[in-house]
Amino acid sequence: MHELDFQPGARVRVTQHVVTGRDATSTVIEGAVLRAGQQKTGSWFAHSKDKKLWIDRVELRKDDGELITLNLDQNSRVERVQAAEA
């Protein structure tokens, strides 16, 4: 699991790698944290908290105002970055 102790307003860069067969794609998204932490899904998973599958999520506001929710996995990296200059 990821350590998601970012306070709202912190600026982060999320890099996600998706591997499909022999190919891999990387996506990088930067923005201000709205919320970060574990959230349960609608999927059932025995012997877990509330019998639900929990995943790491981070919600960001990008510089253009777009709101985005990212589900994080073992191929995701979240790092703190400096605030964008005006």
Q: What is the pTM of this model?
A: 0.78
| Position 2 in a domain | no
By C-alpha distance, which of 7, 9, 17, 19 is closest to 70?
17
Token representation of residue 62: 């990008």
| pLDDT of 86 higher than 80 | no
In a domain, residue 36? The reply is: yes
Domain membership of residue 48 (yes or no) is yes
Domain assignment present for residue 5? The answer is no
Sheet containing strand 76-80, edge to edge, reads: 67-72, 52-61, 23-44, 11-20, 76-80
In a domain, 23, yes or no: yes
**Count of the separate structural domains present in the chain:** 1
Range of 71's domain?
Answer: 11-80
Range in 13-22, 27-36, 44-53, 60-69 the model is least confident about: 44-53
